[in-house]
């Protein structure tokens, strides 16, 4: 995969550009008094505001969570978008989460301290949730979790190896590696923290969750400061992920436990 194409993968999908399959599922789940679904699809296709309202509805969420079919006729991106947006919404209303997360975020050296308004802004940032939904959709293919690109020779399970690769890389490749380290650490701490705990406690690996959080914040920060962050319109998103890494990781953990681990649904 060419490096500029790899970067585009980080923001490939959007609610504005839902596939016909996802859009049809959304309409069939949301609309109750009409059955001219294809006509409705032609009217709302590309209208991100309307589509977002439908995605965020209890009706569609409940349809996904109560589905008894083995496979849902939706894409990984659509599923993760719906669940992430719901998780961010739930955490915005969780006073204890807000208080504890602000304390945790402020427990480091900061230029701008975190308060409720700033944290709420992060939890309302749809560009952040969209970026993460794309990331999770990519990591459905587990090989992409450990590969900086599609070259098997650059498949790594250790952050230090990824960093070593970045030292000998061109400018554009450095940006992608920085993003990948951020994505990798966010996925591990948010989606499978048990893996980190197991390796630390049972395998005696000298790295715990704090190690991954530290590297995630650092490399999302480096990515946000890179010239290609502005060119790719990712500067603000990457900065949010760097500064609010712990909060986003906790939202991912909540989504995974409450919606994915308890669900019997899949996706096409």
**What is 22-49 written as a DSSP string?**
HHHHHHHHH--S---HHHHHHHHTT-HH
Place of tokens 């992409």: 144
Out of 4-8, 109-113, 235-239, pick the least confident. Answer: 4-8
| Residue of 234, 204, 239, 205 lying closest to 221 (CA atoms) | 239
Does residue 168 have a pLDDT over 90?
no
Backbone angles phi, psi at 143, to 5 degrees: -65, -30
Does residue 263 have a pLDDT over 60?
no
Does residue 228 have a pLDDT over 50?
yes
pLDDT band per the 50, 70, 90 thresholds, residue 64: very high
Does residue 152 have a pLDDT over 50?
no
Distance CA 78, CA 238 (A): 21
DSSP 231-242: HTT-HHHHHHHH
Average pLDDT over residues 24-47: 92
CA atoms within 13 A on the CB side of 255: 26
Does residue 131 have a pLDDT over 50?
yes
Q: What pLDDT shows up at residue 10?
A: 73
Please list the residues that pair with 155 across neighbouring strands.
147
Distance CA 165, CA 169 (A): 6
Contact 248, 128 (CB under 8 A): yes
Per the structure block, which two tokens stand in for 5? Answer: 């194409």
Contact 62, 71 (CB under 8 A): no
Backbone angles phi, psi at 147, to 5 degrees: -110, 130
| Residue of 85, 75, 87, 83 lying closest to 17 (CA atoms) | 75
Q: What pLDDT shows up at residue 148?
A: 56
Distance CA 264, CA 268 (A): 14
Q: What pLDDT shows up at residue 1?
A: 47
Average pLDDT over residues 89-93: 97
Q: What pLDDT shows up at residue 157?
A: 58
Does residue 77 have a pLDDT over 60?
yes
Can you say whether the dihedral through the CA atoms of 206, 210, 215, 218 is positive or negative?
Answer: negative
Out of 20-29, 56-65, 107-116, 213-222, pick the least confident. Answer: 107-116
Percent of the chain with pLDDT over 90: 61
pTM of the model: 0.87
Contact 183, 142 (CB under 8 A): no
């Amino acid at each position: 995969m060419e490096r500029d194409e790899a970067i585009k993968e980080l923001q490939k999908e959007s609610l504005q550009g839902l596939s016909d399959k996802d859009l049809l599922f959304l309409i069939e789940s949301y609309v109750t008094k009409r059955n001219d679904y294809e006509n409705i699809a032609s009217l709302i296709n590309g209208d991100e505001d309307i589509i977002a309202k439908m995605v965020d509805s209890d009706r569609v969420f409940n349809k996904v969570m109560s589905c008894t079919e083995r496979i849902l006729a939706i894409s990984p991106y659509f599923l993760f978008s719906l669940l992430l947006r719901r998780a961010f919404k739930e955490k915005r209303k969780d006073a204890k989460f807000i208080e504890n997360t602000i304390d945790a975020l402020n427990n480091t050296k900061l230029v701008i301290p975190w308060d409720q308004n700033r944290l709420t802004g992060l939890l309302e940032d749809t560009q952040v949730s969209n970026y993460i939904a794309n990331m999770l959709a990519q990591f459905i293919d587990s090989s992409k979790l450990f590969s900086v690109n599609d070259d098997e020779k650059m498949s790594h399970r250790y952050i230090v190896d990824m960093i070593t690769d970045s030292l000998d890389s061109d400018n554009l490749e450095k940006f992608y590696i920085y993003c990948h380290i951020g994505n990798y650490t966010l996925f591990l701490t948010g989606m499978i923290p048990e893996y980190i705990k197991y390796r630390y406690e049972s395998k005696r690996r000298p790295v715990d969750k704090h190690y991954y959080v530290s590297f995630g914040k650092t490399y999302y920060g480096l990515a946000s400061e890179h010239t290609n962050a502005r060119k790719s319109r990712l500067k603000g998103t990457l900065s949010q992920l760097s500064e609010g890494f712990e909060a986003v990781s906790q939202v991912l953990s909540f989504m995974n436990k409450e919606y994915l681990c308890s669900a019997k649904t899949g996706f096409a």
